[in-house]
Structure formats: structure tokens, C-alpha cells
Chain A
Amino acid sequence: MLHTFVALVEDKPGVLTRVASLFRRLNVNITSLTVGNTERESISRMTIVADAAEDRAHRIMASLYKLENVLEVDDVGRQSAVVRELALLKVVCTPQTRADLFQLAEVFHARIVDLAPESLMLEITGSASKIEGLVQILVQSNHKILEMARTGRMAMRRGHHTSRVVEALSDATPRTESALAGKPKLVALDLIAQEDHA
């Protein structure tokens, strides 16, 4: 079965290798692994989706904790959580197929982020099954997918739950106003606008 773990790790060189090496040692295949910044400087967040027997979750978590750079591990597969993935799809697009593609994009809440004479690019966010659904329809409707890039899953528990371990860490300063000092100040709307025009 697929397990989804969220690991908060120190943002240091080599940490990804340690995590990946651990899964190799345990002979567990990583289905996807997403790493990025968190609300705290010096802490990165990994969402790891791994294919392993049901009863191995405990061992995987405990082994992750044995890595010095791992601060906290959460088995979000067992919790009520929001799980999202982002995919970019470059699809062959002719004047004849354009309408159909636009329609599919709308149905799947995908966005068209690039339009070239012979292709377009779709951006879709959602659960893995939603993305796979779009891919399937594209293939079945004889649309040629030229390229696909997927981020792998990101997950976050629903509700007020936050990491107790990270809260207890004094050296992990939250990204406060002062931490952002010197960086251009942007309001949320600006960010969205920027992204849309990127």
C-alpha cells in the first residue's frame, strides 16, 4: 500500500541523501518525494510517498527518527489531510483540437499556462487521481502528450494541528516580519497576480 509521510528536516546539505538512502536500506520504493521550505528558516518539509506493506509504517517512521537531521515525522496517510500534487502537461494542439482541449481544461479545473502554434501547456493541481484522470482522457481522446512533469504529493493535516516538536525548538525561528526584512514586501494579491502572469 502507499504510505504518505511528512518529515520536517533540518535544511542542511546531504539530508535528502540520508532520507533516500534510508529507504533504499529498508528496501522500500519511494513513489514520490517533494521537498521545500517551511514557515521556519532552517527547516525543510518532505512529503514522502512510499510503497510498503501496511505494517511497515511504524518501522519507517522510527527509522526516519534515527536520522539526526529529522525533526518530526507524521504518518499523514492515517489522518484527515489535504493532499495535492501539481502537474504540467505539454500537449499537441492544432486549431482543430484546441476547442476540445480548452473544454477538458475547464472540466478538470486545469489552466492553460502556455500556448504555442502547435502545442499548449496545462497546469493542473489536485489529487493524484484527478491528474491521472486528465491524463487518461487526453490519451483516450488521441491528444498527444509531449511532456509531463509532476511534483509528487504534498500533504498537510486538516485542522489546527501543528508540529509540537518544531514548536519546542528554540533555534528554529519562525519566518517573522524581521526574517523577511530586506526582501521586497508583497501583499498576497500581488503574489497571485505575479504567478498568473509568470
Chain B
Amino acid sequence: MSNSAKNGSDNMNSSDPAMTSQPTRLTGAETLWATLVGEGVRDVFGYPGGAILPAYDALRKFPIRHILVRHEQGAAHMADGYARASGRVGVAIATSGPGATNLVTGIANAMLDSIPIVCVTGQVSSKVLGTDAFQEVDITGITLPVTKHNYLVSRTEDIAPALREAFRVAQSGRPGPVLVDITKDAQQNSAIFDFEAAAPAPYRPHPMLRADSTSIREALELLRAAKRPVILAGHGILHSRALEQVRTLAERAQIPVACTLLGLTAFPASHPLNLGMMGMHGESWVNTAIQQADVLIACGMRFDDRVTGALTTYAPNAKKIHIEIDPAEINKNVRVDVALIGDLKEVLETLLPLLPERNSSPWLNAISAMKGDASVRDIQHLPDNGHLYSAHVMHDLWRETNGDAIVVTDVGQHQMWEAQYYKHDRPRSLITSGGLGTMGFALPAAIGAKVACPDKEVWVVAGDGGFQMTSAELSTIAQENLNINIAIINNGYLGMVRQWQEFFYDKNYQSTPLLSPDFVKLAAAHGIRGAHVRKRGEVVSTVQEARSHEGAFLIDFHVEQEDSVYPMIPSGAALHEMIRRPSENPLVETASEA
């Protein structure tokens, strides 16, 4: 972060007094943008309105690209997708009142997935605060439990320090969203702007961060004695940029790796030690390996209920080592034997030099044997029986894009199929809403990802339900001329809910069948090309067409309507008590199992 201030000033237009790095008198509105520039911000996602108009008025003086969204929820998701794709802080701007409240879902989404975003909202003038003035809402009150921190700024001179602190808070420790609410008069008045002087005071020491030599020694002892160890790889690996360290840990000690949904791109899918995704829709061998493990090394993950199943039966024989930066996660869901509380990369760098090489071939062989019975996963050679399954689409999409695309998924069955069948080898190449499970996330988040990484191929994978929640952002894609490909997995249902109704509510498909517009025509209305796909044979050629087309392309995949995601651990059941794919179902089981 510290160097970004410098990068920013390089972009500055030095002839403009508003852009000088010397202390200068600026309006609050100018201060806002100058501080963002200083923090290295190049792109923001927003929507104007009365209380933020002074800021918009000043924007033209600054080298910042503003992407006009169609709904402020989209702005927050775009900032989120931007941060996930690039590792840089994403920025969303909105006006007071409804603009601010529309951000809330996106902020909560970033909170639950620990994504560094900064949201700036306009607020009514300080003179009328608390009077129910037009478009006044207490947004710092509303967002208090869904932000890492927030600020109400009513004085011009406080804008730069609050914003700079917001950037620090968003990125430090366990990252998260921060909101800065700035009154209209604070934007209009002026004060001396001094970027350097506005830097936050050094962080206070955190007495609960602790990875002392005793704990490190205990962890090493457990690892040395382990016969059946498993690494649980989480999102924290990406946050801490500890991919190399985790890989070294796995390779040196020959420990297989199970990934959380958000940790899927923290360890290469093609690595021989990678087992795949754990949890509710994890493959049977992954969850069985965890249940049979004698040592679990959790790296930057939080034992969410979607990955543990019933806590009372979770990995009953395993000693647990938890490496985690947030002390509040220690012993929250799962009681651990050794807690190494600190930055994952730093902890591993201390631990790795002391870790001897070891061999776990009997354990790895045992896992391979389990795989043999359950698996599959190469569905490529299955005969085309006329049905189009979502798994086919994901598989073909993976093959056609060489696993190189950034895939941004929505929430539902398609999200799980993507996680199962698209093999991610590159960090940050899967962007998905994990903790909040926010339908409508994919399209805006993909816009954020594309703006952050314009040279990367970006695919949206969304359900017919979730796509309609934020489909207005197609206009944003058109206006910004973004080359984003969109795959709608159209099953005519709110599929994941339908699946729960099938399994747990006697197939009472209450309110889950879903009528949708012709998505290809909807795209056409925005000047975006598109195609329908109804047969397996058309998947590859249409994906190729989308990839070679200059500009956005939407494919409406009409898939099998009542397919379900397998295996599935019903919520509350033990991790190994999974519902398996019924054998009469033609889809995914391998030739070897047949």
C-alpha cells in the first residue's frame, strides 16, 4: 500500500493545482478523489445522486475511471469482484439514502468473504443530520455489523485521514469492507489537503496474535508423527499470498490438500496432492479423507458449517492445527489442538525450515483407492444421450478455455457444478460468493474482475434465477464495452432450492419453477451477441464462437431441468454421510463404476 501513493502521484496531472502532492487547499470533493488517487485507485464503480453530487462534479479533474452501474448493489459487487481478481482494494460510490441502502447486500457479501472494499457514500449536510432530511439514512448504523469498520465524516479536514485509514483497515489482518459516509457540506467546504500527513498512525500491537516457538514445536511434533495428515486450504492463503508456502508444506511432507470453495484457487487443481473441494458438495474421497485423518492442518479457513457437517462427528480422530490470522476464529466451531495465530505466510515461513521431508505413500495410496470407487470426473467420453447436463457445460468450458479464464459464478447448483468440473490451476481464477451465498453476484462481480484484469478472459456462470437479480448490469457491460462472456445455466428452476425440495420436502416444488425471458433476445436488446444451446454437441462450438467474438457474448444453456448436485451432505449430517448420485442417473459415474 505504501508504494501506491507514489504510483498514484505519477499519474497526476501536475499542471492542475488539485493534483499536486504538496499540501494544498482543496474542497472536500477534491480531497476525496485526490486521496483515492494517492491510494493507487484507478477505477471506481458508482451511481450519482444529490448528496454525492459535489464529489461527482470534481471527478473530471482526476485520473480515475468511473463505471456507471445500474444498481448500487452492482457497484458493491463490482468493487468486490475487482478486489478478488486483483488483490487490490475495490471502491464503490453511492449517494445517501436509497443509494447507500442498495449497497448493503454487496457490503455484507464482502464482509462474509473478507474482501477488501471501500464504499464511499454521500450524506446529507451536517446541519440537518438526524432530522430525517430528504434521503437521509443512518448508513453507518445500518452497516455497523456488516463492515469491518465505518466512518461518518462531517468535516472536510477529516476526509483524507478517514479514507486513508479506511484503506488500511480494509486490507490489514483479515480483510473486509469499510464504509466512509461523507456529508455534503464536508464535500463542499475546503481545507488543507496533505496526503502524507493524513496517513494513519502505526497499527497497535495485537496481543492475541501468537505463534510462539512452543506452538510451532507442537505443530511440528504432530506433523512428524502423522500417518494420515490432510491440509485444509482456505481463502486465507490468497489473502496472505502464501500459495508457495502451502505448496511447499504439502510437497515436503507429502500431505494431500482439500480445498474450501473459496480456497479452490489457492492450490492448483492439477497438482497430484490436490484432492479437490471439501464439504457439502465435496467428492466422497475428500470428505472421507478428512474424516479418517489423524492430523488436520487448517490454513486460512474457518471451519464453516458448509464444510464440517455435524460438528460432533467431524474428523473425530484428528489432531487439529489451525493457522489463522483472526483470533476470533480459533475454537469457534471446531476445537483445535494447536493454534498458530498470525499471518499464514509468516507462520509457514517460520515452520517450514523446521519441517523434515516425510513420506505418506500408504495414506496417499489409500486415498487413491477411495477415488477409484467414487470417481469419475472425466465425463468427456460419456456417450451423448441427447441430454445436456450442466456438468458437460462446465467440463467443456474448462477444456475450451484451457482452465485459464477467470470464472465468476452466481449462487446455486451451477456454482457447485462449476466448482466440481472446472479445474482451476491459477490463483484468483474462481470468483464466487461463499459466505453470504448472494444470488445476483456473478454479473456485477465479473464486471469488476474484467475492469481489474482487462487482459484476462472472463466468464460469468449464472443460473436463470440469479442472473435476473442483477441482469440490468448488461447495460453497464454495453456502455463500458466490456468483453465478458456469459454462460447462463438455464434449468427453469431455482435449482438448488428445488433440489432441497426434492430431497427434504417430498418434491413439493413450491415457488421454484421459474419463467425467464429469452436471454439471447435480452442480450440483443443491449447490443450483445448471444446463442441458445440445447445439445451437448453444440457446447464446444458455441463456446468457441463466444471466445472468438470481439465483445460480450451470452450463451443460454438449456440444461436438464431436474438434475441435482451430487454428492450431497444434508445439513446437520456427518461429513461422510452423503447422498450419492442414484445409479440409474446416466450422468457422471465412470465407466469403471458401471
Contact = CB atoms under 8 A, between A and B. Distances in A.
Interface stretch (A30-38, A89-97, A165-173): A165-173
Interface string A80-105: 00000000000000000000000000
A36 B206 CA distance: 23
A160 interface: no
Given A17-B144, A18-B144, A65 B206 contact: yes
B417 to A, nearest CB: 34
Given A14-B140, A17-B144, A21-B145, A165 B328 contact: no
A62 B148 contact: no
Interface residues of B, number: 20
A171 B165 CA distance: 15
Most buried by A among B145, B204, B326, B330: B204
A59 interface: yes
Interface string B392-425: 0000000000000000000000000000000000
A165 B330 contact: no
A59 B332 contact: yes
Interface residues of A, number: 24
B204 A62 contact: no
Contact of B208 (A55, A65, A71): A65
B169 interface: yes
Contacts of A71: 204
B205 A59 contact: no
B116 to A, nearest CB: 14
B207 interface: yes
Interface string B318-334: 00000000111011100
Contacts of A62: 208, 326-328, 330
B426 interface: no
Contacts of A67: 149
B328 A66 contact: yes
B86 to A, nearest CB: 24
Contacts of B328: 59, 62-63, 65-66
B140 A68 contact: no
Interface in A109-161: none
A72 B328 CA distance: 15
Given A21-B145, A165-B205, A169-B201, 11 more contacts: A17-B141, A17-B144, A21-B144, A59-B331, A61-B208, A65-B207, A66-B148, A66-B328, A165-B207, A168-B205, A171-B201
24 contacts: A13-B152, A17-B141, A17-B144, A18-B144, A55-B331, A58-B330, A58-B331, A59-B332, A61-B327, A62-B208, A62-B327, A62-B328, A63-B328, A65-B207, A65-B208, A65-B327, A66-B148, A68-B148, A71-B204, A72-B207, A164-B207, A165-B205, A168-B205, A171-B201
Interface of B: 140-141, 144-145, 148-149, 152, 169, 201, 204-208, 326-328, 330-332
